[in-house]
Amino acid sequence: ETGVTQTPRHLVMGMTNKKSLKCEQHLGHNAMYWYKQSAKKPLELMFVYSLEERVENNSVPSRFSPECPNSSHLFLHLHTLQPEDSALYLCASSQDGGEQETQYFGPGTRLLVL
């Protein structure tokens, strides 16, 4: 598959579970992003990785832990989540540094925390 892929597409977890979301980009980009999309809020930027280094952390609770092992893969590790964390989690990638930089989004993982 080309572009940006995310797995799983749907996830239901209890508050005591530990799970991970995976994102993979096949575009040769050097920056990757995690966003949270809730029903009544704007898209919220959570983390930014550029050249595999975290360059942005928008006051995200520590129960969300990102990992970027290489420029093509991005993970979001989840533990002891709350019901209000239920949302669509979107991954995006871009080629950082270019003036015409565009972010390409994955299809998202819809998370439900019970």
Partner 1 sequence: AQRVTQPEKLLSVFKGAPVELKCNYSYSGSPELFWYVQYSRQRLQLLLRHISRESIKGFTADLNKGETSFHLKKPFAQEEDSAMYYCALRVRNSGGSNYKLTFGKGTLLTVNP
- Those residues whose C-beta lies under 8 Å from the C-beta of residue 102, and which sit 6 or more positions away, are 94
Residue from 11, 21, 29, 50 binding partner 1 (CB under 8 A): 50
> Does 95 sit near partner 1 (CB under 8 A)?
no
> Does 96 sit near partner 1 (CB under 8 A)?
yes
Residue type, 15: M
Residue from 25, 93, 94, 109 binding partner 1 (CB under 8 A): 94
- The strand pair at 10-13 and 109-113 is best described as parallel
> Does 45 sit near partner 1 (CB under 8 A)?
yes
Residue from 90, 109, 111, 113 binding partner 1 (CB under 8 A): 90
> Does 52 sit near partner 1 (CB under 8 A)?
no
| Dist CA 45 CA 86 (whole Å) | 15
Helix, strand, coil percent content, the chain, rounded in steps of 5: 5, 55, 40
Compare residues 33 and 64 and give the one whose CB is closer to partner 1.
33
